[in-house]
Amino acid sequence: MIIDCAHYKDGSRQHEGVLPVDEAARRSKEDDGFVWIGMHDPDDAELLRVAVRFELPELAVEDAMHAHQRPKLEDYGDGYFLVLHTARYLDDAEEVRFGEVHVFTGPGYVIVIRHGAASELHDARRRLEDNPELLREGPVAAVWAILDKIVDDYEPVIAGLENDVEEVEVAVFGDSSDETRRIYFLRREFAEFYRAAHPLVQPLEELVSKEHPEVAGAMREHMRDVADHVRRLEDAIATQRELLGSILQANLAVISVKQNDIVKQISGWAAIITVPTLVASIYGMNFEHMPELRWQYGYPAALVVMAVLAVILHRVLRRAGWL
């Protein structure tokens, strides 16, 4: 569905309410300024209607109908198709929910399609409307506002994941249970987050290069700031992934030590049980000339010997750290 459709000119919105698509298409071609259409999970018919009115590239429209596209920037001569991945951290579930934003931009228009749990872009539009100087830059200003909002929303995600990594690190060296499953889950979340953020680096570098003259002056500096932000996030993700690898190795080492301790304890108690069992088995044999067989204290003496040997073994093994 269409969330908002507005025509901007001379740094301000030119009307109240949502502009009809046909009127927006006419203004994008005949009037100065540009049109910004925001859509959320549109059906195919609605998207095709907008695509026909604005003569959007057919192949890009097919991509925009479905999510699960990789982040990219495609140049169609008189316009661009940009795919962005959004991320939102869910603290209760300790997981990252991903969405997609597809952006069509060209002379006089910016069309944004949000899929899934994508970032809320109303704040980006309002921020730009409150800054007439940037709004006068045209469609590139809207693209910057969208990029900046999505990348800013990555900050709570990386903060939440870093907190989870710290918790796992503390648990590994504490008395908690095995953390292997949680570590692998976090590694997967970082891998997906990396796939969302890393591909943005190249498109942003292209946008701030001189090959794109439509991005000039102040907007180029703003785009460069977003690109630097993404690089910092990329470095943070790489650092946390390496740290998780080290934590996994430490976790496996701790598990191995605990298993060795258990094996030692089992072996120690088995040795303690073996000695009296051996004595009892000897005296259980049916020999005619068994020593102490006719001694009235032979049976209690055998029990005392077994108990003494067991106590001695227990003390020796305990001092050795096996019990």
* pLDDT, greater one: 113 or 261: 113
* E strand or H helix at 7: strand 2-9
pLDDT of residue 210: 62
**Per-residue model confidence (pLDDT) at position 111:** 94
User: What pLDDT shows up at residue 113?
Assistant: 92
String of DSSP letters for 255-291: HHHHHHHHHHHHHHHHHHHHHHHHHHHHHTS--TT-T
Alpha helix positions (H), 31-93: 44-54, 58-64
Is the pTM above the cut of 0.85? no
| In the chain, alpha helices (H) | 21-30, 44-54, 58-64, 122-129, 132-135, 139-152, 154-172, 180-197, 201-207, 218-283, 298-319
- In the structure, what pLDDT confidence band is assigned to residue 110 with cuts at 50, 70 and 90? very high
Segment 127-156 shows an average pLDDT of 89
Q: What is the pLDDT of residue 172?
A: 82
pLDDT at residue 109 in the model: 92
Judge whether residue 112 has pLDDT over 90.
Answer: yes
Mean pLDDT of 228-240: 91
Condensed to tens digits (0 to 9), the pLDDT of residues 293-311 reads: 666 666 666 667 677 777 7
Tell me the average pLDDT of the chain: 82
Residue 65: the pLDDT is 85
- Taking only the tens place, the pLDDT of each residue in 4-35 is 899 998 888 888 888 899 998 898 888 788 99
Highest-confidence segment of 63-77, 138-152, 202-216, 249-263 = 138-152
Q: In the predicted model, what is the mean pLDDT of residues 55-67?
A: 86
Provide the pLDDT for residue 299. Answer: 61
Domains of the chain (ranges plus CATH)?
Answer: 1-121 (3.30.460.20), 255-319 (1.20.58.340)
Average pLDDT over residues 247-266: 72
